[in-house]
Amino acid sequence: MTVNLLATIWMLVAMVVAVRQALDYHSTYRAIGVCLLGWIVQAVIIMAIVAMVGGFPEPMPAH
């Protein structure tokens, strides 16, 4: 597993705990749903912004 994957999982778990505590949910599943919905909305917005600026840059060629 890469560091990026571990960091992503850690952030999602922390977000679920924070949402559950801040919004006083009794169900962890509800907090997971809220976080997943927020993550999907964020991903759509980021994809739209990337598309508006011309997509991802080309990778640099190996020397």
42 lies in some domain:
yes
CB 28 within 8 A of CB 16: yes
Structural domain of 35: 3-52
Q: What pLDDT is attached to residue 56? A: 78
Average pLDDT of every residue of the chain = 90
For 37-62, the pLDDT digits (tens) are 998 999 999 999 998 998 877 788 87
Residue 58 lies in a domain: no
Q: What is the 3-state secondary structure (H, E, C) of 23-54?
A: CCCCCHHHHHHHHHHHHHHHHHHHHHHHHHCC
Among 11-15, 16-20, 58-62, the minimum mean pLDDT is found in 58-62
Which pLDDT band, with edges at 50, 70 and 90, does 15 fall under?
Answer: very high
User: Dihedral sign, CA of 22, 27, 32, 34?
Assistant: negative
Contact between 10 and 18 (Cβ < 8 Å): no
Residue 36 lies in a domain: yes
In a domain, 33, yes or no: yes
Mean pLDDT of 28-42: 93
- Distance, C-alpha 28 to centroid of its chain: 18
Note whether residue 19 is domain-resident. Answer: yes
Q: How many domains does the chain have?
A: 1
